[in-house]
Protein backbone atom coordinates (compact mmCIF):
# COMPACT_ATOMS: atom_id res chain seq x y z
CA UNK A 1 0.00 0.00 0.00
CA UNK A 2 1.18 3.54 -0.68
CA UNK A 3 2.38 5.80 2.20
CA UNK A 4 -0.77 7.87 1.72
CA UNK A 5 -2.97 4.83 2.38
CA UNK A 6 -0.93 4.04 5.46
CA UNK A 7 -1.44 7.57 6.76
CA UNK A 8 -5.18 7.31 6.23
CA UNK A 9 -5.20 3.95 7.95
CA UNK A 10 -3.30 5.24 10.95
CA UNK A 11 -5.64 8.19 11.28
CA UNK A 12 -8.67 5.92 10.92
CA UNK A 13 -7.28 3.73 13.67
CA UNK A 14 -7.72 6.67 16.02
CA UNK A 15 -11.03 7.95 14.75
CA UNK A 16 -13.54 5.28 15.75
CA UNK A 17 -14.54 4.37 19.28
CA UNK A 18 -16.47 1.32 20.50
CA UNK A 19 -20.20 1.58 21.19
CA UNK A 20 -21.73 1.83 24.68
CA UNK A 21 -22.60 -1.86 24.77
CA UNK A 22 -18.95 -2.87 24.22
CA UNK A 23 -17.85 -0.24 26.72
CA UNK A 24 -20.14 -1.83 29.31
CA UNK A 25 -18.89 -5.34 28.52
CA UNK A 26 -15.30 -4.16 28.98
CA UNK A 27 -16.21 -2.46 32.27
CA UNK A 28 -14.87 0.96 31.25
CA UNK A 29 -16.62 4.30 31.74
CA UNK A 30 -14.96 6.26 28.92
CA UNK A 31 -14.77 5.56 25.16
CA UNK A 32 -11.98 3.30 23.90
CA UNK A 33 -10.70 3.16 20.34
CA UNK A 34 -12.11 0.31 18.27
CA UNK A 35 -8.61 -0.38 16.96
CA UNK A 36 -7.21 -0.86 20.50
CA UNK A 37 -10.00 -3.23 21.49
CA UNK A 38 -9.56 -5.21 18.24
CA UNK A 39 -5.82 -5.55 18.75
CA UNK A 40 -6.43 -6.63 22.34
CA UNK A 41 -8.88 -9.33 21.17
CA UNK A 42 -6.40 -10.65 18.59
CA UNK A 43 -3.67 -10.82 21.22
CA UNK A 44 -6.05 -12.62 23.58
CA UNK A 45 -6.34 -15.39 20.97
CA UNK A 46 -2.56 -15.65 20.70
CA UNK A 47 -2.25 -15.79 24.49
CA UNK A 48 -4.73 -18.68 24.57
CA UNK A 49 -2.70 -20.48 21.90
CA UNK A 50 0.40 -20.09 24.11
CA UNK A 51 -1.49 -22.00 26.81
CA UNK A 52 -2.96 -24.62 24.47
CA UNK A 53 0.24 -25.28 22.52
CA UNK A 54 3.04 -24.70 25.05
CA UNK A 55 5.73 -26.07 22.71
CA UNK A 56 5.09 -23.12 20.36
CA UNK A 57 4.82 -20.48 23.10
CA UNK A 58 7.88 -18.59 21.82
CA UNK A 59 6.51 -18.36 18.27
CA UNK A 60 3.18 -17.04 19.53
CA UNK A 61 4.91 -14.55 21.81
CA UNK A 62 6.90 -13.39 18.80
CA UNK A 63 3.67 -12.84 16.90
CA UNK A 64 2.34 -10.85 19.87
CA UNK A 65 5.46 -8.64 19.80
CA UNK A 66 5.15 -8.07 16.06
CA UNK A 67 1.49 -7.07 16.40
CA UNK A 68 2.40 -4.69 19.24
CA UNK A 69 5.19 -3.10 17.18
CA UNK A 70 2.87 -2.53 14.27
CA UNK A 71 0.12 -1.04 16.41
CA UNK A 72 2.58 1.14 18.30
CA UNK A 73 3.87 2.56 15.00
CA UNK A 74 0.30 3.19 13.81
CA UNK A 75 -0.48 5.12 16.99
CA UNK A 76 2.73 7.13 16.77
CA UNK A 77 2.19 8.18 13.17
CA UNK A 78 -1.42 9.16 13.86
CA UNK A 79 -0.29 11.19 16.88
CA UNK A 80 2.31 12.93 14.71
CA UNK A 81 -0.36 13.85 12.15
CA UNK A 82 -2.28 15.69 14.86
CA UNK A 83 0.64 17.58 16.39
CA UNK A 84 2.44 18.54 13.17
CA UNK A 85 0.45 21.27 11.58
CA UNK A 86 2.63 21.61 8.48
CA UNK A 87 4.26 19.26 6.07
CA UNK A 88 7.55 20.20 7.74
CA UNK A 89 8.65 19.26 11.23
CA UNK A 90 6.98 22.18 13.01
CA UNK A 91 4.88 20.95 15.87
CA UNK A 92 2.26 22.43 18.10
CA UNK A 93 3.89 23.98 21.17
CA UNK A 94 2.30 21.59 23.66
CA UNK A 95 3.70 18.58 21.79
CA UNK A 96 7.22 20.05 21.83
CA UNK A 97 6.89 20.74 25.55
CA UNK A 98 5.46 17.29 26.35
CA UNK A 99 8.63 15.90 24.73
CA UNK A 100 10.95 18.47 26.34
CA UNK A 101 12.88 16.64 29.07
CA UNK A 102 13.02 19.51 31.56
CA UNK A 103 9.37 20.53 31.24
CA UNK A 104 8.17 16.93 31.20
CA UNK A 105 10.28 16.03 34.25
CA UNK A 106 8.97 19.07 36.13
CA UNK A 107 5.31 18.31 35.28
CA UNK A 108 5.75 14.68 36.35
CA UNK A 109 7.17 15.83 39.67
CA UNK A 110 4.05 17.85 40.55
CA UNK A 111 1.61 16.48 43.15
CA UNK A 112 -1.28 16.70 40.63
CA UNK A 113 0.53 14.24 38.33
CA UNK A 114 1.69 12.00 41.17
CA UNK A 115 -1.82 11.72 42.57
CA UNK A 116 -2.94 10.41 39.15
CA UNK A 117 -0.32 7.67 39.44
CA UNK A 118 -1.60 6.83 42.92
CA UNK A 119 -5.12 6.35 41.64
CA UNK A 120 -3.69 3.68 39.34
CA UNK A 121 -3.05 1.57 42.37
CA UNK A 122 0.26 2.99 43.58
CA UNK A 123 -0.38 4.63 46.91
CA UNK A 124 1.00 8.12 47.50
CA UNK A 125 3.69 8.31 50.11
CA UNK A 126 2.72 10.60 52.99
CA UNK A 127 5.46 13.09 52.04
CA UNK A 128 3.71 13.52 48.68
CA UNK A 129 0.75 15.23 50.29
CA UNK A 130 1.36 18.96 49.93
CA UNK A 131 0.10 21.84 52.00
CA UNK A 132 -1.84 24.62 50.29
CA UNK A 133 1.24 26.88 50.48
CA UNK A 134 3.44 24.28 48.77
CA UNK A 135 0.86 23.70 46.04
CA UNK A 136 0.70 27.47 45.45
CA UNK A 137 4.49 27.61 45.17
CA UNK A 138 4.49 24.74 42.64
CA UNK A 139 1.64 26.29 40.62
CA UNK A 140 3.64 29.48 40.62
CA UNK A 141 6.73 27.64 39.36
CA UNK A 142 4.74 25.96 36.59
CA UNK A 143 3.25 29.32 35.57
CA UNK A 144 6.72 30.93 35.56
CA UNK A 145 8.20 28.16 33.40
CA UNK A 146 5.40 28.49 30.84
CA UNK A 147 5.40 32.31 30.92
CA UNK A 148 9.16 32.50 30.41
CA UNK A 149 8.95 29.99 27.55
CA UNK A 150 6.11 31.81 25.82
CA UNK A 151 6.72 35.49 26.35
CA UNK A 152 10.38 35.55 25.41
CA UNK A 153 9.80 35.77 21.62
CA UNK A 154 7.75 38.61 20.14
CA UNK A 155 5.26 37.32 22.65
CA UNK A 156 2.32 36.38 20.44
CA UNK A 157 1.70 32.78 19.47
CA UNK A 158 0.86 32.33 15.83
CA UNK A 159 -0.61 29.03 14.66
CA UNK A 160 0.99 26.52 16.98
CA UNK A 161 -2.12 25.43 18.82
CA UNK A 162 -4.67 22.70 18.16
CA UNK A 163 -7.66 24.65 16.91
CA UNK A 164 -9.92 21.68 16.16
CA UNK A 165 -11.36 20.31 19.41
CA UNK A 166 -12.21 16.99 17.76
CA UNK A 167 -8.46 16.41 17.61
CA UNK A 168 -8.25 16.99 21.34
CA UNK A 169 -11.00 14.41 21.74
CA UNK A 170 -8.92 11.99 19.66
CA UNK A 171 -5.86 12.55 21.85
CA UNK A 172 -7.99 11.97 24.96
CA UNK A 173 -9.37 8.75 23.41
CA UNK A 174 -5.84 7.61 22.58
CA UNK A 175 -4.77 8.31 26.16
CA UNK A 176 -7.62 6.35 27.76
CA UNK A 177 -7.30 3.47 25.26
CA UNK A 178 -3.55 3.05 25.51
CA UNK A 179 -3.60 3.29 29.29
CA UNK A 180 -6.25 0.54 29.42
CA UNK A 181 -4.27 -1.53 26.90
CA UNK A 182 -0.98 -0.98 28.72
CA UNK A 183 -2.46 -2.23 32.00
CA UNK A 184 -3.75 -5.38 30.33
CA UNK A 185 -0.45 -6.06 28.57
CA UNK A 186 1.52 -5.32 31.75
CA UNK A 187 -0.51 -7.95 33.66
CA UNK A 188 0.19 -10.42 30.86
CA UNK A 189 3.95 -9.70 30.73
CA UNK A 190 4.19 -9.86 34.55
CA UNK A 191 2.61 -13.33 34.41
CA UNK A 192 5.37 -14.66 32.13
CA UNK A 193 8.72 -16.05 33.24
CA UNK A 194 11.93 -16.55 31.29
CA UNK A 195 13.02 -20.14 30.67
CA UNK A 196 16.58 -19.38 31.82
CA UNK A 197 15.54 -18.08 35.24
CA UNK A 198 12.17 -19.70 36.03
CA UNK A 199 12.06 -21.95 39.09
CA UNK A 200 9.98 -25.11 39.08
CA UNK A 201 7.54 -23.45 41.50
CA UNK A 202 7.14 -20.40 39.21
CA UNK A 203 6.55 -22.61 36.20
CA UNK A 204 3.92 -24.60 38.07
CA UNK A 205 2.17 -21.44 39.31
CA UNK A 206 2.12 -19.63 35.95
CA UNK A 207 -0.77 -19.80 33.50
CA UNK A 208 1.78 -19.65 30.68
CA UNK A 209 4.78 -21.82 29.80
CA UNK A 210 8.24 -20.18 30.33
CA UNK A 211 9.51 -18.27 27.28
CA UNK A 212 12.74 -17.00 25.78
CA UNK A 213 14.36 -14.24 27.86
CA UNK A 214 15.08 -12.13 24.78
CA UNK A 215 11.45 -12.15 23.55
CA UNK A 216 10.18 -11.41 27.05
CA UNK A 217 12.55 -8.41 27.18
CA UNK A 218 11.16 -7.13 23.84
CA UNK A 219 7.60 -7.56 25.11
CA UNK A 220 8.30 -5.51 28.26
CA UNK A 221 9.89 -2.71 26.22
CA UNK A 222 6.90 -2.59 23.87
CA UNK A 223 4.46 -2.49 26.78
CA UNK A 224 6.48 0.45 28.19
CA UNK A 225 6.18 2.25 24.81
CA UNK A 226 2.38 2.19 25.12
CA UNK A 227 2.58 3.60 28.64
CA UNK A 228 4.89 6.40 27.42
CA UNK A 229 2.59 7.41 24.57
CA UNK A 230 -0.47 7.33 26.87
CA UNK A 231 1.32 9.63 29.32
CA UNK A 232 2.54 12.00 26.60
CA UNK A 233 -1.07 12.37 25.39
CA UNK A 234 -2.21 13.38 28.86
CA UNK A 235 0.69 15.82 29.35
CA UNK A 236 -0.07 17.27 25.93
CA UNK A 237 -3.71 17.95 26.87
CA UNK A 238 -2.63 19.55 30.17
CA UNK A 239 -0.23 21.81 28.28
CA UNK A 240 -2.50 22.48 25.29
CA UNK A 241 -5.24 23.99 27.47
CA UNK A 242 -2.57 26.24 29.03
CA UNK A 243 -1.09 27.30 25.69
CA UNK A 244 -4.62 28.31 24.60
CA UNK A 245 -4.73 30.67 27.60
CA UNK A 246 -1.52 32.36 26.38
CA UNK A 247 -2.74 32.40 22.80
CA UNK A 248 -5.84 34.41 23.71
CA UNK A 249 -4.56 36.39 26.71
CA UNK A 250 -1.18 37.73 25.55
CA UNK A 251 -2.87 40.07 23.02
CA UNK A 252 -5.26 41.34 25.72
CA UNK A 253 -2.63 43.68 27.18
CA UNK A 254 -0.48 44.10 24.09
CA UNK A 255 -3.14 45.06 21.57
CA UNK A 256 -6.07 46.55 23.47
CA UNK A 257 -6.56 50.14 24.53
CA UNK A 258 -6.91 50.67 28.29
CA UNK A 259 -6.89 54.45 28.15
CA UNK A 260 -9.98 55.01 26.00
CA UNK A 261 -12.42 57.89 26.56
CA UNK A 262 -15.59 55.83 26.89
CA UNK A 263 -16.58 53.28 29.44
CA UNK A 264 -16.33 50.12 27.35
CA UNK A 265 -18.60 47.71 29.21
CA UNK A 266 -17.63 44.46 27.49
CA UNK A 267 -14.69 42.25 28.35
CA UNK A 268 -11.94 42.13 25.72
CA UNK A 269 -12.92 40.13 22.62
CA UNK A 270 -9.96 37.79 23.21
CA UNK A 271 -11.28 37.01 26.69
CA UNK A 272 -14.66 36.10 25.23
CA UNK A 273 -12.93 33.90 22.64
CA UNK A 274 -10.90 32.16 25.37
CA UNK A 275 -14.07 31.49 27.37
CA UNK A 276 -15.76 29.96 24.34
CA UNK A 277 -12.65 27.90 23.63
CA UNK A 278 -12.36 26.62 27.23
CA UNK A 279 -16.03 25.64 27.21
CA UNK A 280 -15.71 23.64 24.00
CA UNK A 281 -12.57 21.88 25.33
CA UNK A 282 -14.42 21.15 28.58
CA UNK A 283 -17.33 19.52 26.72
CA UNK A 284 -15.07 17.26 24.69
CA UNK A 285 -12.72 16.27 27.52
CA UNK A 286 -15.48 15.69 30.05
CA UNK A 287 -16.88 12.97 27.78
CA UNK A 288 -13.53 11.42 26.87
CA UNK A 289 -11.50 11.49 30.09
CA UNK A 290 -12.04 10.00 33.52
CA UNK A 291 -12.99 12.68 36.11
CA UNK A 292 -9.60 12.65 37.90
CA UNK A 293 -7.83 13.32 34.59
CA UNK A 294 -10.32 16.01 33.60
CA UNK A 295 -9.53 17.62 36.95
CA UNK A 296 -5.78 17.31 36.25
CA UNK A 297 -6.22 19.23 32.98
CA UNK A 298 -8.29 22.11 34.35
CA UNK A 299 -7.17 22.56 37.96
CA UNK A 300 -4.75 25.43 38.69
CA UNK A 301 -5.75 27.06 35.39
CA UNK A 302 -7.11 30.06 37.33
CA UNK A 303 -3.68 30.58 38.84
CA UNK A 304 -2.09 30.55 35.38
CA UNK A 305 -4.64 33.02 33.93
CA UNK A 306 -4.14 35.34 36.92
CA UNK A 307 -0.36 35.12 36.44
CA UNK A 308 -0.54 35.84 32.69
CA UNK A 309 -2.75 38.90 33.16
CA UNK A 310 -0.74 40.26 36.12
CA UNK A 311 2.48 39.67 34.20
CA UNK A 312 0.94 41.53 31.23
CA UNK A 313 0.81 44.84 33.08
CA UNK A 314 4.33 45.63 31.80
CA UNK A 315 3.03 45.69 28.20
CA UNK A 316 0.34 48.31 28.81
CA UNK A 317 1.28 51.69 27.48
CA UNK A 318 -1.13 53.48 29.83
CA UNK A 319 -4.36 52.96 31.69
CA UNK A 320 -7.23 55.13 32.97
CA UNK A 321 -10.22 54.34 35.20
CA UNK A 322 -12.19 52.90 32.30
CA UNK A 323 -9.21 50.68 31.47
CA UNK A 324 -8.98 49.41 35.06
CA UNK A 325 -12.71 48.56 34.95
CA UNK A 326 -12.21 46.76 31.65
CA UNK A 327 -9.35 44.63 32.99
CA UNK A 328 -11.40 43.77 36.10
CA UNK A 329 -14.27 42.72 33.82
CA UNK A 330 -11.86 40.50 31.85
CA UNK A 331 -10.83 38.76 35.06
CA UNK A 332 -14.38 38.42 36.31
CA UNK A 333 -15.61 36.93 33.00
CA UNK A 334 -12.88 34.27 33.04
CA UNK A 335 -13.46 33.59 36.73
CA UNK A 336 -17.15 32.89 36.17
CA UNK A 337 -16.41 30.58 33.27
CA UNK A 338 -13.65 28.65 35.09
CA UNK A 339 -15.83 28.31 38.19
CA UNK A 340 -18.45 26.62 36.01
CA UNK A 341 -15.80 24.21 34.70
CA UNK A 342 -13.93 23.38 37.91
CA UNK A 343 -16.76 23.90 40.39
CA UNK A 344 -14.40 25.87 42.65
CA UNK A 345 -14.17 29.56 43.53
CA UNK A 346 -10.95 30.28 41.54
CA UNK A 347 -9.83 32.81 44.15
CA UNK A 348 -6.53 33.42 42.30
CA UNK A 349 -8.56 35.57 39.91
CA UNK A 350 -9.85 37.64 42.86
CA UNK A 351 -6.20 38.18 43.78
CA UNK A 352 -5.43 39.40 40.23
CA UNK A 353 -8.50 41.66 40.19
CA UNK A 354 -7.50 43.26 43.51
CA UNK A 355 -4.04 43.82 42.00
CA UNK A 356 -5.45 45.87 39.12
CA UNK A 357 -7.77 47.71 41.53
CA UNK A 358 -4.65 49.09 43.26
CA UNK A 359 -4.32 51.31 40.18
CA UNK A 360 -7.30 53.32 41.48
CA UNK A 361 -5.13 54.34 44.42
CA UNK A 362 -2.25 56.82 44.42
CA UNK A 363 1.10 54.89 44.52
CA UNK A 364 2.12 56.71 47.74
CA UNK A 365 -1.01 55.36 49.43
CA UNK A 366 -0.25 51.87 48.11
CA UNK A 367 3.23 52.11 49.68
CA UNK A 368 1.68 53.23 52.99
CA UNK A 369 -0.73 50.26 52.83
CA UNK A 370 2.23 47.87 52.39
CA UNK A 371 3.97 49.45 55.38
CA UNK A 372 0.86 49.00 57.52
CA UNK A 373 -0.53 45.66 56.34
CA UNK A 374 2.39 43.88 54.71
CA UNK A 375 2.79 42.60 51.15
CA UNK A 376 0.02 40.99 49.14
CA UNK A 377 2.17 40.90 45.98
CA UNK A 378 5.83 40.56 45.04
CA UNK A 379 8.25 43.47 44.82
CA UNK A 380 8.32 43.03 41.02
CA UNK A 381 4.50 43.21 40.81
CA UNK A 382 4.36 46.42 42.87
CA UNK A 383 7.17 47.87 40.73
CA UNK A 384 5.22 47.31 37.49
CA UNK A 385 2.15 48.88 39.09
CA UNK A 386 4.01 52.08 39.97
CA UNK A 387 5.64 52.21 36.53
CA UNK A 388 2.27 51.91 34.76
CA UNK A 389 0.88 54.68 36.98
CA UNK A 390 3.76 56.92 35.82
CA UNK A 391 3.31 55.99 32.15
CA UNK A 392 -0.38 56.90 32.50
CA UNK A 393 0.37 60.31 34.05
CA UNK A 394 2.91 61.98 31.73
CA UNK A 395 3.09 65.06 34.01
CA UNK A 396 4.98 63.01 36.63
CA UNK A 397 8.76 63.36 36.41
CA UNK A 398 11.34 60.52 36.21
CA UNK A 399 12.78 61.70 39.54
CA UNK A 400 9.37 61.17 41.21
CA UNK A 401 9.35 57.62 39.85
CA UNK A 402 12.83 57.03 41.25
CA UNK A 403 11.83 58.32 44.69
CA UNK A 404 8.79 56.07 44.77
CA UNK A 405 10.84 53.06 43.71
CA UNK A 406 13.32 53.74 46.48
CA UNK A 407 10.55 54.09 49.04
CA UNK A 408 8.91 50.87 47.79
CA UNK A 409 12.16 48.99 48.18
CA UNK A 410 12.70 50.27 51.72
CA UNK A 411 9.16 49.45 52.82
CA UNK A 412 8.99 46.00 51.24
CA UNK A 413 12.31 44.68 52.37
CA UNK A 414 11.69 45.88 55.92
CA UNK A 415 8.06 44.80 56.40
CA UNK A 416 7.46 41.81 58.65
CA UNK A 417 5.60 40.22 55.75
CA UNK A 418 8.43 40.93 53.38
CA UNK A 419 9.28 37.23 53.14
CA UNK A 420 6.56 37.04 50.45
CA UNK A 421 9.01 38.72 48.12
CA UNK A 422 11.69 36.98 46.09
Of 2-6, 104-108, 408-412, the one with minimum mean pLDDT is: 2-6
Task: Check pLDDT > 70 for residue 269.
Answer: yes
Predicted confidence at residue 119, as pLDDT, reads 61
Which segments of 128-212 does DSSP mark as H helices, in order? 132-150, 165-190, 200-205
Distance between CA atoms of residues 207 and 191, nearest Å: 7
**pLDDT, mean over the chain:** 88
Q: Is the pLDDT of residue 157 over 80?
A: no
Cα–Cα distance measured from residue 318 to residue 395, given in angstroms and rounded to the nearest whole number: 13
Three-state DSSP class for residue 194: strand
Give the pLDDT score at 1: 41
From residue 142, how far is each of 13, 77, 105, 109, 227 by CA, in Å?
34, 30, 12, 11, 24
Mean pLDDT is highest, among 145-154, 198-207, 299-308, for 299-308
Q: What is the pLDDT of residues 199-247, one digit of tens each?
A: 777 777 788 998 999 999 999 999 999 999 999 999 999 999 999 999 9
Q: What percent of the chain has pLDDT over 90?
A: 64
The neighbouring-strand residues paired with 211 are: 194
Q: Give pLDDT, residue 296.
A: 94
CA distance 237 to 169: 10
**Cα–Cα dist 36/290, whole Å:** 18
Q: Residue 343, Cβ neighbours under 10 Å: how many?
A: 10
User: Looking at residue 338, what is its pLDDT?
Assistant: 96
How many angstroms separate the CA atoms of 198 and 206, rounded? 10
Summarize the confidence of residues 129-153 as an average pLDDT: 79
The answer to whether 219 touches 203, Cβ cutoff 8 Å, is no
Region for 17 from its dihedrals, namely left if φ exceeds 0, alpha if ψ lies in -120 to 50, beta otherwise: beta
Q: Does residue 418 surpass a pLDDT of 70?
A: no
In the predicted model, what is the mean pLDDT of residues 113-122?
A: 73
- Greater pLDDT, 265 or 138: 138
Q: Running DSSP on this structure, what letter comes out for residue 128?
A: G
Do 308 and 249 contact (CB within 8 A), yes or no? yes
- How is residue 57 annotated by DSSP? H
Of 268, 282, 287, nearest in space to 330 by CA: 268
Q: Which long-range contacts (CB under 8 A, 24 or more apart) does 298-302 make?
A: 298/241, 298/338, 298/341, 298/342, 299/112, 299/342, 300/112, 300/139, 300/142, 301/241, 301/242, 301/245, 301/338, 301/342, 302/334, 302/335, 302/338, 302/342, 302/346, 302/347, 302/348, 302/349
The reported pLDDT for the residue numbered 163 is: 86
Integer Rg of the chain from CA: 27
Amino acid sequence: SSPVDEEDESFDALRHVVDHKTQKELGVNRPLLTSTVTVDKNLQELRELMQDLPDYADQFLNMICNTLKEYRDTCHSAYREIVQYDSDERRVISAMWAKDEDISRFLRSLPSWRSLQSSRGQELASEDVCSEEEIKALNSKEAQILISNLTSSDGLIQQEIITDVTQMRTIANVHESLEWFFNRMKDFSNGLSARSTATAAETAASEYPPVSEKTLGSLKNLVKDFQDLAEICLLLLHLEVRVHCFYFLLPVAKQSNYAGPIDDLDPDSNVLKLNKDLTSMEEVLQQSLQPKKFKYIFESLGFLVASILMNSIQYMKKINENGIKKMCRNLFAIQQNLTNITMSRESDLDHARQYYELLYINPDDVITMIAEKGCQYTFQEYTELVKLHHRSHPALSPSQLEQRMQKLKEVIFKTPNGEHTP
